[in-house]
């Protein structure tokens, strides 16, 4: 198992660990490490983020939204790079704009490159360690590069790296000081499938170790692999926050699509339509149908009895809307 901790310094000063001061008592949950209350941000009269309130706890959370939804602006406010036009931000013990200690507990992976192209990866990450006031910066940099599956001894300048390699250098920079909170804006851009798997495993390992990992992406299958916790932003507003499966379960006014494989599929589909448990039925073959329902409970009650009545055997029942793509489509499709 990969060691996700950063080594202790030789002068006895331990790096910041994942034990932040408690969240403000007035804001549940008590273990939240990232809190934004009613934050808005405007640029020259154009509203980028509007009245967003979120609370994020340790683990991996996906920040999801279409391009231009306000994800990057929200991350910049949460990391202290820009000041909200209104509202307040509390991260890892304080306001990252005014509290240097709180800001030092944040690791940031921006969407832009912003690396010194003529320098080696070990030197760039060592500089980040030095700027964080860490002892043994080269050793710490080597450890952080190892976490992202990069060779610390690589002699090539970063300017010759591929997009995926540069992304991993940025992640190593963000990890080198062992932050409590890690914020990453589209960190998997440019990575090949193997590198994506490695980084997702790393993010999960950090979350399991008690870190708060907030990962922004507009790629639905990536966010689904981060875990079930999501924050959905649409046109600068908070569309939903929580477990995306629970969010889908609460959307009672949205029809559900279900694929049913049954040896008496045609007869079963006709019976379900006649009973009113489904709104529509598409027959793909004699044994495969797709139904749309607003009453999943009634459908579940009637499936087996109807199949038995027509001498059919139920072989497979698959909800087609129990995924992040359907949740995202319902939340932002009409905005």
Which among 250, 231, 239, 249 is positioned nearest to 333, based on CA atoms?
Answer: 239
251-332 has which fold?
A: Alpha-Beta Plaits (3.30.70)
pTM for this predicted structure: 0.71
CATH numeric code, 34-248:
3.40.50.300
Instruction: Give the start-to-end residue ranges of the domains of the chain.
Output: 34-248, 251-332
Instruction: Report whether pLDDT(204) > 80.
Output: yes
User: Range with the lowest mean pLDDT among 37-41, 131-135, 254-258?
Assistant: 254-258
Give the C-alpha separation, 8 to 174, whole Å: 17
Q: What is the DSSP string of 83-145?
A: --SEEEEEETTB-TTT-HHHHHTEEEE-SS----TTSBHHHHHHHHHHHTT-SSHHHHHHHHH
pLDDT tens by residue, 9-49: 333 223 333 333 444 445 447 889 999 999 999 998 889 99
Q: What is the pLDDT of residue 329?
A: 67
pLDDT tens by residue, 144-191: 999 999 999 998 998 899 888 999 999 999 999 999 999 999 898 888
pLDDT tens by residue, 100-120: 999 999 999 988 877 788 899
Instruction: Report whether pLDDT(334) > 60.
Output: no
**Is the bond preceding 226 in cis, omega lying within 30 degrees of 0?**
no
Mean pLDDT throughout 305-324? 83
The DSSP element (H or E) to which 47 belongs, if any, is: strand 46-56
Q: What is the pLDDT of residue 332?
A: 65
pLDDT band at 230; cut points 50, 70, 90: confident
pLDDT tens by residue, 54-69: 999 999 999 988 778 8
Phi/psi at 23 (nearest 5 deg)?
-65, 155
Residue bearing the bigger pLDDT, 192 or 320: 192
């Amino acid at each position: 198992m990969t060691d996700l901790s950063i080594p202790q310094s030789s002068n006895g000063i331990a790096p910041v660990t994942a034990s932040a001061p408690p969240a403000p008592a007035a804001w549940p949950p008590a273990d939240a490490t990232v809190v934004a209350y009613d934050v808005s941000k405007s640029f020259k009269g154009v509203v980028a983020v509007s009245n967003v309130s979120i609370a994020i706890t340790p683990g991996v959370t996906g920040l999801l939204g279409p391009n231009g939804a306000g994800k990057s602006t929200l991350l910049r406010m949460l990391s202290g790079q820009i000041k909200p036009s209104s509202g307040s931000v509390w991260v890892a013990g304080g306001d990252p704009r005014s509290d240097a200690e709180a800001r030092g507990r944040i690791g940031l992976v921006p969407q832009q490159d912003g690396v010194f192209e003529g320098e080696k990866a070990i030197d760039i990450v060592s500089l980040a360690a030095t700027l964080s006031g860490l002892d043994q910066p080269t050793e710490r940099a080597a450890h952080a590069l190892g976490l992202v599956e990069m060779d610390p001894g690589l002699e090539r300048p970063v300017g010759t790296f591929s997009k995926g390699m540069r992304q991993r250098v940025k992640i190593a920079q963000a990890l080198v000081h062992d932050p409590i909170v890690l914020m990453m804006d589209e960190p998997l851009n440019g990575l090949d499938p193997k590198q994506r798997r490695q980084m997702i495993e790393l993010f999960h390992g950090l979350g399991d170790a008690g870190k708060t990992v907030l990962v922004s992406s507009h790629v639905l299958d990536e966010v689904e692999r981060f875990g079930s916790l999501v924050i959905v932003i649409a046109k600068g507003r908070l569309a939903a926050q929580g477990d995306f499966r629970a969010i889908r379960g609460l959307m009672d006014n949205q029809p559900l699509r279900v694929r049913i494989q049954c040896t008496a599929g045609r007869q079963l589909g006709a019976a379900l339509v006649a009973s009113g448990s489904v709104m529509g039925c598409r027959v793909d073959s004699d044994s495969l149908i797709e139904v749309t329902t607003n009453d999943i409970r009634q459908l579940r009650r009637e499936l087996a009895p109807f199949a038995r009545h027509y001498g059919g055997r139920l072989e497979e029942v698959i909800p087609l809307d129990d995924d992040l793509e359907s949740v995202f489509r319902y939340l932002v499709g009409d905005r």
